[in-house]
Structure 1
Amino acid sequence: MPNSVASFIICTILGFGIGFAGFELANKNDEASTETPTETATNTNTPTDDHEPEETEQPAPETVSASSEILNAKGCLSCHAVSSLDLDGGATGPDLSQAFTGVEDKHGKPLDEFLKEPTSAVMSSVISGSPLSDDEVQQIVDALQEASEK
Structure 2
Amino acid sequence: MKNAIIIFFVFALVGFGGGYLFSQSGSQEQATAPDNAATEQTQNTADDEKVEAPAPAVSPEGEIFNQKGCLACHSVENLGLQGGATGPDLSQAYVNVEGKHGKPINEFLKEPTSAVMSSVIGGNPLTDDEINKVVEALKIASEK
- Secondary structure of 2:139's partner? helix
Structure 1 residues 75-90: aligned runs within 5 Å: 75-90=69-84
TM-score in terms of structure 1 length: 0.65
Q: Distance in 1 between matches of 2:37 and 2:139?
A: 24
Structure 1 residues 71-150: aligned runs within 5 Å: 71-150=65-144
1:50 aligns with: none
Higher helix proportion, which one?
Answer: 1
CA, structure 1 residues 145+14, in 2 after alignment: closer, same or farther (shift >3 Å)?
closer
Q: Is the 8 A contact 2:75 2:85 kept in 1?
A: yes
Runs of 5+ consecutive residues of structure 1 not aligned to the other structure? 1-12, 40-60
CA, structure 1 residues 125+32, in 2 after alignment: closer, same or farther (shift >3 Å)?
same
Q: Is the 8 A contact 1:81 1:89 kept in 2?
A: yes
Residue 61 of structure 2 is aligned to residue 67 of structure 1: yes
Q: Distance in 1 between matches of 2:16 and 2:86?
A: 18
CA, structure 1 residues 117+30, in 2 after alignment: closer, same or farther (shift >3 Å)?
same
Q: Is the 8 A contact 1:84 1:148 kept in 2?
A: yes
Does 108-117 or 18-27 show the bigger shift?
A: 18-27
Q: Is the 8 A contact 1:70 1:139 kept in 2?
A: yes
Q: How many residues align?
A: 118
1:28 aligns with: 28
Moved over 6 A (4+): 13-19
- Secondary structure of 1:147's partner? helix
Does 28-37 or 76-85 show the bigger shift?
A: 28-37
Runs of 5+ consecutive residues of structure 2 not aligned to the other structure? 1-12, 40-55
TM-score in terms of structure 2 length: 0.67
Q: CA deviation at 1:116?
A: 0.2
Q: For 1:39-98, what per-residue CA distance to the aligned partner results, in whole angstroms no more than 9, with x for missing partners?
A: 9xxxxxxxxxxxxxxxxxxxxx97x52122110111111111111112111111111110
Alpha-carbon RMSD across the aligned residues, in angstroms, is 3.0
Indicate the percent of aligned positions where both proteins have the same amino acid. Answer: 57
Does 117-126 or 27-36 show the bigger shift?
A: 27-36
CA, structure 1 residues 66+107, in 2 after alignment: closer, same or farther (shift >3 Å)?
same
- Secondary structure of 1:33's partner? helix
- Secondary structure of 1:100's partner? helix
